[in-house]
């Protein structure tokens, strides 16, 4: 609705300027939307996980580059269709950009003028479509340089502990067994680190340290990233991913930045908090982690996202810019269908491509996966299954144009769109 209203405000008779303005407005609204708590993903998401070529435009300016290509190509085709089928015989559009030998006169067979003016738009749309894919292919076809010195063998434990039993005796027993045995199984395969899902051990830090899993870490001396909770003062806690060294000590932690409204926090808590407290038996409140966190590990800095955070491209870009060498994402996803879980996997594919990083994804019930910097899924788990898997990833220090400059394309489109619109108004 906002896009349509703004398109009406910034109206122009020039179809190319209109498409440019429409693209700029769409991208700007996505940026604003992504700054709020109800974001899921941009229009670029429609290309994941299969169109690797066009997704590589994300290395240029993040999701905005892919979104802009989609909006611009379809906008040009829409303008062409409007001219071909919905414009009166004597066109109401300004055709000076595409002059017609029949302009201002009746056309032979009634539609010559309209058809003549629509053809250049189709040609431009086709050229833009081809160029975008050629640029994406040039990035996609770059070989991955993988020195053995940067190799890191990582294991994943997909615990498959349904939320409904997590805090019951049965659930607690399965947590102890599944994650401890999964860790030991992976260590026997020679892994250097093990990743567990979001909230794998649904306890606070002190309880996690006393768990059988951390006892196994001390015994085997292999690092583990463990999902749990960290107290943040009276009645407050964060959803965190802890880095436990081989000595069983916390080396670092990452606190979930993006919380799900109502599911994990109360919007306008000062106003609604009293009402929600009366309706809910839960007294503690989850709070978001600080922005721009840096997660250090013995293997170098990691780029970390927890569940909902996978939808926020800027969160990953900030960590990569600060030296993140590989991506770790931990999710629960138990309440959701297999389709939604695969959508979540598609998000992590986009983040791996944009940041040019290997990604390791651990979930509770699916889909856990390993993804390379070109977006290719090397392995993916089943749905509602208990699984462990080990794969070798590679630490990288490259920086894409997007990582270095951020979403610069959104600003360029906005300046060009407003500038040309103003020039058009002054000229007329």
Nearest to 387 by CA among 412, 406, 361, 413: 361
Residue 402 lies inside a defined structural domain of this protein:
no
Q: Are residues 128 and 246 in the same domain?
A: no
Q: Are residues 179 and 130 in the same domain?
A: no
Q: Are residues 169 and 85 in the same domain?
A: no
Predicted TM-score (pTM) of this structure: 0.89
Residue 20 lies inside a defined structural domain of this protein:
yes
CA–CA dist 346, 257 (Å, integer):
20
Helix axes 169-187, 212-220, angle to 10 degrees: 10
Q: Are residues 48 and 63 in the same domain?
A: yes
Residue 84 lies inside a defined structural domain of this protein:
yes
Q: Are residues 170 and 127 in the same domain?
A: no
Q: Are residues 110 and 202 in the same domain?
A: no
Return the pLDDT at 110. 44
Return the pLDDT at 273. 58
Q: Are residues 178 and 255 in the same domain?
A: yes
Q: Are residues 336 and 189 in the same domain?
A: yes
Q: Are residues 310 and 242 in the same domain?
A: yes
**190, two tokens:** 């020679």
- Give the CATH number for residue 264: 3.60.110.10
Q: Are residues 135 and 157 in the same domain?
A: no
Supply the residues annotated as catalytic: 198, 256, 307
Residue 275 lies inside a defined structural domain of this protein:
yes
Domain coverage including residue 420: 2-142+407-427
Q: Are residues 228 and 129 in the same domain?
A: no
Give mean pLDDT in consecutive 10-residue pieces for the chain, a chain of 428 residues.
94 92 96 87 93 97 97 96 73 45 44 61 96 97 94 97 88 94 97 97 93 97 96 89 96 93 69 54 73 94 95 96 97 89 95 98 95 97 96 97 96 94 88
Return the pLDDT at 208. 95
Sequence-ordered list of residues with C-beta below 8 angstroms from that of 219, at least 6 positions apart, any chain: none
Count of domains observed in the chain: 2
Helix axes 313-321, 338-355, angle to 10 degrees: 40
Q: Are residues 245 and 332 in the same domain?
A: yes
């Amino acid at each position: 609705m906002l896009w349509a209203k703004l398109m009406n405000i910034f109206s122009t008779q020039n179809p190319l300027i209109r498409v440019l303005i429409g693209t700029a407005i769409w991208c700007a609204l996505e940026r604003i939307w992504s700054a709020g708590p109800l974001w899921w993903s941009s229009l670029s998401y429609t290309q994941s996980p299969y169109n690797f070529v066009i997704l590589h435009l994300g290395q240029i300016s993040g999701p905005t580059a892919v979104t802009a290509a989609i909006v611009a190509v379809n906008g040009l085709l829409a303008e062409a269709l409007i001219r071909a089928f919905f414009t009166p015989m004597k066109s109401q559009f300004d055709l000076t950009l595409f002059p017609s030998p029949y302009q201002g006169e009746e056309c032979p067979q009634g539609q010559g003028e309209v058809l003549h003016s629509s053809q250049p738009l189709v040609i431009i749309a086709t050229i833009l479509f081809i160029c975008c894919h050629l640029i994406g292919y040039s990035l996609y076809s770059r070989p991955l340089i993988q020195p053995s010195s940067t190799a890191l063998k990582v294991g994943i434990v997909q615990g498959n502990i349904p939320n409904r039993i997590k805090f019951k005796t049965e659930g607690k027993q399965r947590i102890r067994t599944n994650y401890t045995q999964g860790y030991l199984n992976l260590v026997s395969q020679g892994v250097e680190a093990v990743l567990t899902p979001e909230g794998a051990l649904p306890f606070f830090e002190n309880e996690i340290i006393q768990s059988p899993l951390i006892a196994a870490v001390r015994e085997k001396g292999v690092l583990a990233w463990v999902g749990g909770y960290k107290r943040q003062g009276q009645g407050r806690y964060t959803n965190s991913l802890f880095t436990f060294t081989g000595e069983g000590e916390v080396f670092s932690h990452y606190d979930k930045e993006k919380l799900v409204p109502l599911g994990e926090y109360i919007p306008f808590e000062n106003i609604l908090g009293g009402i929600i407290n009366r309706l809910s038996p839960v007294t503690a409140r989850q709070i978001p982690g600080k922005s721009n966190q840096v997660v250090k590990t013995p293997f170098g800095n990691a780029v970390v996202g927890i569940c909902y955070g996978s939808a926020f491209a800027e969160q990953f870009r900030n960590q990569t810019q600060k030296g993140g060498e590989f991506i770790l994402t931990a999710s629960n996803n138990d309440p959701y269908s297999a389709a939604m879980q695969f959508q979540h996997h598609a998000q992590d594919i986009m983040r791996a491509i944009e940041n040019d990083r290997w990604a390791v994804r651990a979930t509770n019930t699916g889909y856990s996966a390993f993804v390379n910097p070109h977006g290719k899924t090397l392995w993916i788990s089943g749905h509602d299954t208990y699984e462990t898997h080990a794969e070798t990833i590679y630490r990288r220090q490259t920086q894409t144009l997007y990582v270095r400059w951020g979403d610069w394309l959104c600003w360029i489109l906005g300046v060009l769109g407003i500038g040309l619109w103003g020039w058009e108004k002054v000229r007329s």
